[in-house]
Amino acid sequence: MTDVQHLIDNVILHKDFKAEDLQGVNLARELKKLDTFESSLKGQGWKKGSVKISVPCPKKKVAKSEAVEFEIEGLLYQDLTTVIKNACQDETTIGSFHTTPFKEMWKPSDNASPVRLYGEAYMSDEMINTYEEVQNVPPRPDYPDVENVVVELAPYSDTTMLAQFGTAFLWPVYIYFGNLSKYIRSQPSSHAAHHMAYFPSLPDSFSNWYWETFGTVPSEATITHCKQELIQALWLLILSAPDFVQVYQYGIFICFADQVIHHVFPRFFAYMADYPEKVLLACIRNLGTCPCPRCLIKKKYLPGLGTRVDIQQRAKLRTCDQRYQDKIETTQKIIYENGYVVNSKAVNRVIGSESFTPTRSAFISALSQFGLNFFSLFVVDLMHKFKLGVWKGVFTHLIQILYTQGAEVIAEFDRR
């Protein structure tokens, strides 16, 4: 129904719509093309899905479990376990797939003491410690001599506009593997990024639906809240698949492309995304008092970047301990059962000082029982945080200054 309304409102009634463009269109043929595309995706292990989110309405007091739900369709995804198997069985990258992490040392000269080098995920303490942890899992009698190994998952998602004009976009989610060198991972030709999902966004019809359901328009804060609920619901659908939780806890036996069987334990290593997406994922406020998805540094201390005090500030990490989870539980009661708005004082009193939002993360719901602190996944992403942000801004500014100094200066700059 909403799709047909969308077709009338935004396509047929649009001033740029030309009926003659439809001449010669054969609907049966076009639908057949779509069917073939969908069945080819199904053949490759893709599934279609939808999720429901609880929508709060101010002054409407009801338990969260009984709140009105809004369904979002259009999710395309693959089982995470399938993605992991595909990566382990990929013949093109198997020669570079590190199942045993290590420390790399460098001796600058014969007399100098060795220096530890950090450059790859499989040389990090994080992966070494995780690898040692899974060694404690006793071997299964049916696979007595199989090595326990860790497969490091690094999801990456980014909304991509499909055209210069209009709102058409895709929201693909990829899984990278920390077991592969960054020099391989980053090369598009190595196909080391594994497609896992296409996320749908909150449709424009949501506001209409809200109006029809509650007789009022949703506030900006409510829409942001629903977007956060949506991304968590999508991830929860993927993470809480019974086979994935089982695989995460007990491991899975996979025969790698080199014909060696390993007992594989998948672990999340990092989540790469731009800041607006990290805000949604980490369930924090956009540029709030504590704007960082990883630590509790206050916005007023950000200019201290690089100082010793700054390092101390950043050492206060966010944790998804019981105290945090209880707070989220409390705020959800305040919103649904007491009927307060999502950004009300009553909510902020509980979670405002740390800029959390009243949404429960999917990673907490599915994996915190296994000790995952999902805030630690949001590592600094040099491309999004520095190169496309700070550095690009500074560089553009410098170029503009150079232009005011005349063509010779520009030529000298180009020469250098």
Residues engaged in binding Zn ion (CB under 5 A)? 292, 294-295
Closest to Zn ion by CB, 262 or 294: 294
In b/e form, how buried is each residue of 176-205, taking b as 16+ CB within 10 angstroms?
A: bbbbbbeebbeeeebebbbbbbbbbbbbeb
Cβ 275 to Zn ion shortest distance, Å = 11
Shortest Å distance, C-beta 288 to Zn ion = 13
Residue 356 to residue 300: CA distance in whole angstroms: 17
Closer to Zn ion by Cβ: residue 8 or 315: 315
What backbone torsions phi and psi does residue 396 show, to the nearest 5 degrees?
-60, -45
Cα 413 to Cα 416: distance, rounded to the nearest angstrom? 5
Among residues 141, 128, 88, the alpha carbon closest in space to that of 256 is found at: 88
For the residues of 350-387, what is the DSSP string, one character each?
HHGGGTB-S---HHHHHHGGGT--GGGG----IIIIII
Q: Compare residues 221 and 295 and give the one whose CB is closer to Zn ion.
A: 295
Quote the CA–CA distance of 180 and 61 in Å, as a whole number. 51
Residue closer to Zn ion, measured from CB, 295 or 402: 295
Count of Cβ atoms closer than 10 Å to residue 289 Cβ: 15
Contact predicate 363/239, CB 8 Å: yes
Nearer to Zn ion, 310 or 337 (CB): 310
Closer residue to Zn ion in complex, CB, 292/335: 292
Q: At closest approach, how far in Å is the CB of 294 from Zn ion? A: 4
Q: Name residue, tokens 């990456």.
A: 156
In the complex, minimum distance from the CB of residue 277 to Zn ion, in angstroms, rounded to a whole number? 16
Helix axes 205-214, 220-239, angle to 10 degrees: 110
Helix 80-88 crosses helix 242-250 at what angle (to 10 degrees)? 50
Nearer to Zn ion, 313 or 348 (CB): 313
Residue 374 beta carbon to Zn ion: minimum distance, rounded to whole angstroms: 14
Q: CB 290 → Zn ion: shortest distance, Å? A: 9
**What is the rounded CA–CA span in Å between residue 230 and residue 227?**
5
Q: Residues 37, 40, 43, CA angle at the centre, nearest 5°?
A: 155
Output 291 or 339, the one with its CB closest to Zn ion: 291
| CB of residue 315 to Zn ion, shortest distance in Å | 10
Q: Pick the closer one to Zn ion by CB: 216 or 353.
A: 353
Please give the residue whose beta carbon sits closest to Zn ion in the complex.
Answer: 292
The sign one gets for the Cα dihedral 129, 134, 138, 143 is: negative
Q: Nearest approach, Cβ of 317 to Zn ion (angstroms)?
A: 8
Q: How far is the CB of 293 from Zn ion (least distance, A)?
A: 7
